[in-house]
Structure 1
């Protein structure tokens, strides 16, 4: 009997539990029957996509996606497929190129008189709408009646950027998202978030993206996501650096030329476009919508600092997968048309932003003192319900459209700006930094023989580290700096980074320690915090006595320090350390950030 009981208990403990699929218990959705459904082809069509075959419920695997695209490219003289990079698990990151002139090389496309649009899907692999929309659009261009789109612009398309995350797929990929049936994972194979990597370049995916940008020089860059968060009526939300950025003329082009046409196209096809939406209170929009100032670690802000028109699409996760994919198709099709229609104006904007003065640039932004204005918000009715499980209140979405007036809260006021030097110097030993500068496409001069330079250096006088790793790195958080000039002898292989170049602002963002996305704050110079030479008390006692007897000024400083700082006077170790710092034996490079400014 006991044996039977043990067997039953073991079965209960180790049996696979049956979970409720989150999509079955999501908030109710508003019925939708948009005109864009006419974009779907019949299942009997030769070039029907796996998405269409599944009635808009599923997205194909990496292997299925690539097999379909390879077949499509092989049957079109206007498409070519190349490898942009290789993932951490060894999967090729594929790039589809579209050209009416059949010119597929980066040398031709980067200098073409026709604009170039670069759109990518699956940077967060569960947010895969852009892949399926792009497959349909490429089908209709190369096999249907939309070849004329290639008269407007040449195309670059990465259908799956985070290819390893894409294959970590299951029905339990994203608990807050309504489809597809199986979804990939947000981060890559080593658990890094690609859309936090645009400055530090630690992932194969973003290294591939920067290589594409540097080689092909696209005019418009679109990164396609699916958002989480509160419910609302909008199905296709998107944004760009509208204010508080580094490319004001490009921002103006996006708001006056591009956005009105894209919004109208989406409305005409039965979609509801909207801005990027972030609830100020984290739950609903009663306290307003926050327009954050994203740092250049994010895709669209990275594009902004490079003076490349860049857009972040965030489709609404609670809308059905089919609706989101079709909306993305409409967006991309109109983006191609609008880029072609207004290319001359965009070129003028890029030239203006690229030639703007660079005496100083902001490296940190804060919120405005008061909300900018109120916006008409197409929301969803909600109520607050007290949980029987936790006792706390939570928001319950009711699936009924409401129109509200909510504050717009902008984070676009420069909080900290830095003066821009003539150049930066990076010693040869900091190879990780120079490698990343090169990957970004930043130009620099490498010296072939030792050179003495007079530069300004920053010494960290106090600091604290993050209490846990962020994106695999230990970031420097609160810190104070002291800036001094010093003559350095730099060895061959050291580099000089001029700021008077196309990516000069990006160089400042990466090399100025006050920048939230600097190599310093990301932790690439953390070894400077280690003190590796020490003093012994049996040496310091007679040395201090000799120093005091020979230097009256030092003795006066010592007495003043004791009088003003009781803790100092009570700590022999602190006293020894204070004197040690007055000697030439003390490490002059301790806590000195090894990036010099040339003025």
Structure 2
């Protein structure tokens, strides 16, 4: 593999002879020598990681990673490795379990009195810091002096989630990231982004994560990334759903009990923790930092709607790889301690959020009309220069530390709510949606015999599709909806899904078409938009004449439509279509979303 990687890199350099490595032209790095460097072991140590052997410059391949971990697991009674899925290219997606009680099964861990802490690396495989940090941490727990971390916690660790993207590695993986030397690819082998997949469950990686969450019932879920974007002083930025989410008690616990302790631990080791950072103007932070309302297609917001305390780590891409890995180690170690210390309060918060009985659920948020407040921002000085190539201005980062006061722009204002029905019904023929709901862990009853029901449905009116696919699916740009009541006969295999369950919020988000992460908006019901039976003019002409002669009200409505709609009056096709819809021959299922509401 190393030979092949070197060959491909050489081929790229020969193909692009003037190409410089991005590492050589990045903005200046701020010097750093934090206390967390003490976590590194000597290269002579039996359990030195490949990352440490490379002086913090490289991250091992999939095969090298698994080989090292398997040897570590074989040498400890407290570690076990399990395969939780198989990638699209056939690689095993592995998870390491650490338990001092040697209880490794889902049943034992989900019922343990200790918290289960689940952290994953490499969902975007080029952003691999968590893998190397986790390897060091497991080494120090099982072979070093940190076994006490398992006195009050059990650990679940996926070292590489996007295993296929991880092996699409080269020196040209991420143009804006300072190391490691070779980086994997953001998307999987089918070019799908795993961190857009939590609601639709299309990828093997996120299907595996959903199984872990459902089976092991973790008490903290941590997804480890590396940023894109601007320069600033912070090296370890992270966040969770603080406002505008579905687990308010968990959010409060994370803000008041978890975050202060983790921030302090990072500062003590020489790191600069910060919130998730997104420049309002896309370049620098002069116009403020944006706190987006992420939808549940993302990891930490999926955790929020499932009432699992969830953290998104975004290490700063312009900081050296070693600094980022060591900061991640410090974060994970303190996360274990903080969850263990405050576990009773966390359990209470989770129970409260899972027992909510909402009558309405927000499906769309917008920005507040005025900034929430201001924040002290530890920035890096920048200037604008005009490009000699494009003639446009661009940002140049100068490597000088500055402090700014910038507005915080919060996207947590509810702008669209839907009422929560008693239950939803999904017909048996839409089995793919039923199976995805099961994979989410949503409780349901499966109909054993045919049943006739009167239910409410949504019907699509005018609509427009996006011009390009998104994550391999065709989504809507806009659409109109109307509600209608219908009596339907549902076949055996149909599902009744009650909203009286802990995952009611997720259920509504997936079922209601107004939600941007509904199965409707993801395109799973697109076939209902096709009209498959048509009229013939030689039939419609005499039929229309007969209808008009026998139905005075129909004639009046037709004349009114012509008077009010000049385009309609001039269009024979529109007139035929209008009459066709008045007949029992017209397809009554056309554009009706096959999700029934029981009130």
Tell me the TM-score normalised to structure 2 length. Answer: 0.97
Alignment of 1:275-286 (within 5 A): 275-286=275-286
Map of 1:574 onto structure 2: 574
Alpha-carbon offset, residue 152 of structure 1: 2.4
Alignment of 1:538-557 (within 5 A): 538-557=538-557
Q: Secondary structure at the match of 2:432?
A: helix
Structure 1 residues without counterparts, runs of 5 or longer: 1-10
Q: Distance in 1 between matches of 2:284 and 2:354?
A: 39
1:35-83 CA deviation, whole Å, 9 max, x = no partner? 0000000000000000000000000000000000000000000000000
Q: Distance in 2 between matches of 1:336 and 1:140?
A: 14
Q: Distance in 1 between matches of 2:582 and 2:14?
A: 67
Q: Secondary structure at the match of 1:222?
A: strand
Aligned 8 A contact 1:378 1:401 in 2: yes
Q: Distance in 2 between matches of 1:17 and 1:93?
A: 37
Q: Distance in 2 between matches of 1:152 and 1:285?
A: 41
Aligned 8 A contact 2:120 2:161 in 1: yes
Aligned 8 A contact 1:384 1:394 in 2: yes
1:6-41 CA deviation, whole Å, 9 max, x = no partner? xxxxx9x98663521001100001100000000000
Map of 2:424 onto structure 1: 424
Q: Distance in 2 between matches of 1:353 and 1:463?
A: 36
Map of 2:107 onto structure 1: 107
Q: Secondary structure at the match of 2:429?
A: coil
Residues 197 and 260 of structure 1: CA distance in aligned 2, closer, same or farther (over 3 Å): same
Q: Distance in 1 between matches of 2:164 and 2:95?
A: 16
Q: Distance in 1 between matches of 2:66 and 2:357?
A: 45
Map of 2:201 onto structure 1: 201
Residues 66 and 394 of structure 1: CA distance in aligned 2, closer, same or farther (over 3 Å): same
Map of 2:562 onto structure 1: 562
Q: Distance in 2 between matches of 1:325 and 1:298?
A: 23
Residues 85 and 419 of structure 1: CA distance in aligned 2, closer, same or farther (over 3 Å): same
1:257-299 CA deviation, whole Å, 9 max, x = no partner? 0000000000000000000000000000001000000000000
- Are 1:302 and 2:302 an aligned pair? yes
Q: Distance in 2 between matches of 1:200 and 1:384?
A: 41
Q: Secondary structure at the match of 2:201?
A: coil
Q: Distance in 1 between matches of 2:44 and 2:19?
A: 35
Q: Distance in 1 between matches of 2:364 and 2:453?
A: 30
Structure 2 residues without counterparts, runs of 5 or longer: 1-10
- Are 1:469 and 2:479 an aligned pair? no
1:321-358 CA deviation, whole Å, 9 max, x = no partner? 00000000000000000000000000010111111231
Map of 2:229 onto structure 1: 229
Alpha-carbon offset, residue 485 of structure 1: 0.7
Q: Secondary structure at the match of 2:231?
A: coil
1:217-270 CA deviation, whole Å, 9 max, x = no partner? 000000000001000000000000000000000000000000000000000000
Aligned 8 A contact 1:152 1:339 in 2: no
Aligned 8 A contact 1:477 1:521 in 2: no
Aligned 8 A contact 2:300 2:311 in 1: yes
Alignment of 1:159-178 (within 5 A): 159-178=159-178
Map of 2:93 onto structure 1: 93
- Are 1:43 and 2:43 an aligned pair? yes
Q: Please list every run of at least 4 consecutive aligned residues from structure 1 whose deviation after the TM superposition is greater than 3 angstroms.
A: 13-16
Alignment of 1:76-475 (within 5 A): 76-475=76-475
Alpha-carbon offset, residue 387 of structure 1: 0.7
Q: Distance in 2 between matches of 1:320 and 1:293?
A: 29
Cα RMSD for the two superposed structures? 1.1
Q: Distance in 1 between matches of 2:444 and 2:106?
A: 22
Q: Distance in 2 between matches of 1:257 and 1:446?
A: 42
Aligned 8 A contact 2:230 2:283 in 1: yes
Map of 1:506 onto structure 2: 506
Q: Distance in 1 between matches of 2:14 and 2:401?
A: 45
- Are 1:525 and 2:532 an aligned pair? no
Tell me the TM-score normalised to structure 1 length. Answer: 0.97
Map of 1:492 onto structure 2: 492
Q: Secondary structure at the match of 1:350?
A: helix
Q: Distance in 2 between matches of 1:274 and 1:16?
A: 38
Q: Distance in 1 between matches of 2:419 and 2:334?
A: 40
Q: Distance in 2 between matches of 1:230 and 1:133?
A: 24
- Are 1:583 and 2:583 an aligned pair? yes
Map of 1:5 onto structure 2: none
Q: Distance in 2 between matches of 1:132 and 1:238?
A: 18
1:553-573 CA deviation, whole Å, 9 max, x = no partner? 000000000000111100011
1:401-438 CA deviation, whole Å, 9 max, x = no partner? 00000000000011111000010000000011011001
Map of 1:8 onto structure 2: none
